[in-house]
Amino acid sequence: MKKLRNTLYIAIIASSFVACTAKEDRESMGKPLPADQLEFTVTQTPGYDNEVTMESLTPEIIPYWDYGFGVSNARKFKAVIPFAGTFPIKYYAYGKGGPSVDSVEITVTENDANFFADPYWDLLTNGVDGKTWVWAVDNPLGCITGGGDYRDNGPTWWKDNMADQQAIINDKMTFDLNGSYNFELITPNGNKPGKFSFDVESMKLSFVGSDVSNGQNWNYDIIKLNENELVIAATHIESWGGFRNFYFFKKEGFVYP
């Protein structure tokens, strides 16, 4: 976000230099507005405090909003904060004298039931409480990773030898929706927290700041997701005629019959 703000600021300055001499520019640009002169409103919808209306009332500026789960340069718009918690709403005003910023905090009472209505959210994360997934070492395929054609739903080309997976076999990963899209890779050698992105419509799963063990930093396809099983695949359509690498997980405590 910082890069975007700086780019806009530089563009404003550059346009001023085209029209003015250095002396005239210094005089015309002036100083950024003090924070107490910025006029804006942030209003939560009564009875549905996940919905927030933001409106810029400061004249002769370009507004820019950063509300944690998205950004906007609209003068007035609505956004949904999907999580319970206290969050800053940052308001930037870009004027002739440069950017000014102010912020307010809002409190959201609970996760948005409408936003997380699809049952796949709960299957993956168990909501605020979280869910732990481990390698499915006892699954009927006899492997936890393998490969196949990019259209396959399981390993048809190869199955990695379980004996070669000892370095990762005790790793775990957790998902939860406690204030954010939280993910953590848990290993005997230390943990690596991050965030996850889950597109329910396309059944895509990706990670920021962390990854699954032996992962490929990919936008993974979810092949199977139910109460006890999670199978994901890194799909490479453009390589070797198209192939997939599969990863097999199960809910911690689940034992295959």
Could you report the average pLDDT of every consecutive run of 10 residues in the chain (257 residues)?
A: 31 37 50 93 98 97 96 98 97 95 97 97 98 98 97 97 95 98 97 98 98 97 98 93 96 98
Rounded to 5 degrees, φ, ψ at 157 are -95, -45
Please say whether the beta carbons of 82 and 111 come within 8 A.
yes
Domains in the chain: boundaries: 2-108, 119-251
Q: What is the DSSP letter of 33?
A: P
Q: At what angle do helices 22-29 and 2-19 cross, to 10 degrees?
A: 130
Residue with tokens 């609970």: 110
pLDDT of 202 reads 98
State the CB neighbour count (10 A cutoff) for residue 81.
23
Bridge partners of 234?
245
Structural fold of domain 119-251:
Lipocalin (2.40.128)
Structural fold of domain 2-108:
Immunoglobulin-like (2.60.40)
pLDDT of 204 reads 98
Query: Considering the entire predicted model, what is its pTM?
Result: 0.83
Residue 40 is encoded by which pair of tokens?
A: 């804006």
